[in-house]
Amino acid sequence: MMKVAAIQHDIAWEQPEKNFSLLAPLIEQAAGDGARLIVLSELFSNGFSMNTKHISETLDGASTQFLIQQATELGVWICGSVPILSRGNDLPHNSLVLADPDGNTLRYEKKHLFGYAGEDKHYVGGSAPLTVEVEGVRCSFFICFDLRFGPDFWDIAAATDLFIVVANWPEVRRNHWKSLLKARAIENQAFVLGVNRIGEGDGLTYSGDSRLYGPMGKTISKASKNQTQILLSDIEPSTVTEVRSDFPFRWLNSR
């Protein structure tokens, strides 16, 4: 069993240092409560900004260093997404950075860019999925708009116990957020954790609605709307094995 903490938090627009200061005590509290994996939101240090000339960072930039520092000092795994410029690209990737207790990092680059907001004009899309075993739990990571693309989840479901989706998902479509998270849990027979921001940014309002669904679609835990909150949940991978054994849907038979 592994305890995961979803930190539902506000984001000061394009002010990384302020966000680091706001998040550090919440991360420390989550670690003190026993969390082994701590999850922040999409673009946790800036908000969902298209001002990439201003906010982009290098591979070892301030936001990544903040995650590494928190992971090593507290002895935990921690993740959140960061606008990272990689060699050969003029535009950054929206990259989920996962730091481990030894200071190593892995990245997932957001595959599906939200063209409705112009993300495809300011960021470069990725392609390769990321699945990592964290404290005995096989975790796969996605970012916000990726949630709408079910086949990407199906393709790696057999190797996944817990899907993690970090987001800046606007309140106006909060029903889609909750419904799609639940759908991904049911159809993949896996835990699905959605971690969304609260507050306002660039004229949009975010309600949070962070939550964890179990492999049968049951709501395991959920954060209050519009409140900064640490959502602590236990993930038991044997539950996924049992559900898939009891209900062996045809598409899982190729495992």
Q: What is the pTM of this model?
A: 0.96
Q: Which helix (H) or strand (E) holds 230?
A: strand 229-235
Q: What percent of the chain has pLDDT over 90?
A: 95
Report the share of the chain in percent with pLDDT over 70. Answer: 98
* Cα Rg, the chain, nearest whole Å: 17
Distance between first and last Cα of the chain: 23
Catalytic residue from among 57, 79, 110, 171: 110
Count of CB atoms situated within 10 Å of the CB of 23:
24
What is the per-residue pLDDT across 126-145, written as a single tens digit (0 to 9) for each?
999 999 999 999 999 999 99
**Distant-in-sequence, close-in-space partners of 25: CB < 8 Å, separation ≥ 6:** none
Q: CA-based angle 105:109:115, to the nearest 5?
A: 155
Q: Which of 79, 139, 144, 178 is catalytic?
A: 144
CA pair distance 56, 119, nearest whole angstrom: 13
- Active-site residue flag, 42: yes
Residue 169 above 60 pLDDT? yes
pLDDT at 225 over 80: yes
Question: Which residue in the list 42, 109, 119, 171 is annotated as catalytic?
Answer: 42
Asked about 110 being catalytic, the answer comes back as yes
Residues 28-49: tens digit of each pLDDT: 999 999 999 999 999 999 999 9
Residue 139 is a catalytic residue: no
pLDDT digit string (tens) for 95-112? 999 999 999 999 999 999
- Tokens 């539950």 correspond to 239
Contacting residues for 196 by C-beta, under 8 A, at least 6 apart: 8, 41, 166, 167, 168, 169, 177, 206, 207, 208, 209, 210
What is the pLDDT, as a whole number, of residue 255?
Answer: 45
Contacts of residue 104, Cβ cutoff 8 Å, sequence gap at least 6: none
The answer to whether residues 115 and 144 touch, using CB atoms and an 8 Å cutoff, is no
Q: Is the pLDDT of residue 87 over 80?
A: no
CA 179, distance to chain mean position in Å, is: 17
Q: Which helix (H) or strand (E) holds 45?
A: none
